[in-house]
Amino acid sequence: MYSGLAIILLPLIFGYLIPIKSLDLLRTINRLLSSMVYVILFFMGISLAFLDNLSANLQMIFLYASVFFICIFSSNILALMLLDRQWPWRNRQHQKKLPSRLHMVLESLRLCGVVVIGFLLGLTHISWLTYASQASQFALIFLLVLVGLQLRNSGMTLREITLNKRGMVVALIVVISAFAGGAIGALLLGLPVKTGLAMSSAYGWYSLSGILLTDALGPVLGSAAFFNDLARELVAIMLIPTLIRSHASTALGICGATSMDFTLPVLQRSGSVEIIPAAIVHGFILSLLAPILMAFFSAP
């Protein structure tokens, strides 16, 4: 258990301890991080192709992904709507014209295409492809170093995080309700509750959950985690403009860890600039918790 946690925490802490002043270097790190997502998903697709009983396992992957998505996302929605009812948050600015949601959905689906390409290549069973799982571990370590660098140099201080009460509370509600949904999903599927908690701890961070849980729990659950978290992002993109006027906390919470980056422009355009500080704090907290909690709950 402790060795698994160390593999996750040490690269993350190492990256977080390095301050970077150069804007050009920070931009390079952000580009590298985006590129590593594709590399990791490619390796995940290859590993998937080496599964025994492939057709039966594919059915299990989509069953697991569907049940966990319904349970976790529904639990988040219910808890966040209760928060909105008890602590309303009204946007004072008008909704702006949104970018094409179809374009954003297609960008997310492109990630599925990378997994499919890796999967099709893996079906050839070329001998050197058997090293994909080892390569994915090195890629994961490098990704975590980059994530640590990005978090350290995001401009967020502890004071700024603690002062934004809305972002902190929404993040806490997302974490607790996701645990409840993950536990329910695990019980429905006959899996250990600990596995359900691991599946619920990515908060939409599909690139990390896919490779980390593939390494820890196997390709079936790792792939299910990827599709579960990708579905969260796709549904969030579609629901944010509808929810944000009357349920702003819900619109923010369903974004999960992506409220700090990918879904931030959608939140801003759908609501107003006043949502940005809460969105960044919310995404920062969940991005920091996700690798730690997944490693903890997936450790043997």
Q: What whole-number distance in Å separates Cα of residue 230 and Cα of residue 54?
A: 22
Q: Give residue 105's pLDDT.
A: 65
Q: What whole-number distance in Å separates Cα of residue 46 and Cα of residue 246?
A: 44
Q: Length of the chain, please?
A: 300
Name the 3-class secondary structure at 124.
coil
Q: Which residues contact 32 (CB under 8 A, 6 or more apart)?
A: 146
Q: Are 151 and 287 in contact (CB under 8 A)?
A: yes
Q: Are 270 and 95 in contact (CB under 8 A)?
A: yes
Pseudo-torsion of CA 160, 22, 11, 72, nearest 10°?
50
User: In 10 A of CB 114, how many CB atoms?
Assistant: 18
Tokens of 85: 């009812």
Tokens of 279: 């969105």
In the chain, where the domains are located: 35-90+98-125+156-294
Q: What whole-number distance in Å separates Cα of residue 84 and Cα of residue 61?
A: 34
Q: Give residue 103's pLDDT.
A: 63
In terms of phi and psi (left: phi > 0; alpha: psi -120 to 50; beta: otherwise), the region of 11 is alpha
Instruction: Provide the residue-wise pLDDT of the chain in tens; the chain has 300 residues.
Output: 445 556 667 887 888 888 888 888 888 887 887 788 788 778 878 877 887 677 778 889 999 999 999 999 999 999 999 999 998 876 554 555 555 556 656 666 777 788 889 888 988 888 888 888 778 778 878 877 887 887 777 666 666 666 788 999 999 999 999 999 999 999 999 999 999 999 999 999 887 888 889 888 988 999 899 889 988 988 888 888 888 888 899 999 999 988 877 777 778 777 766 787 888 889 889 988 998 899 899 887
Q: What is the largest CA-CA distance in the chain?
A: 60
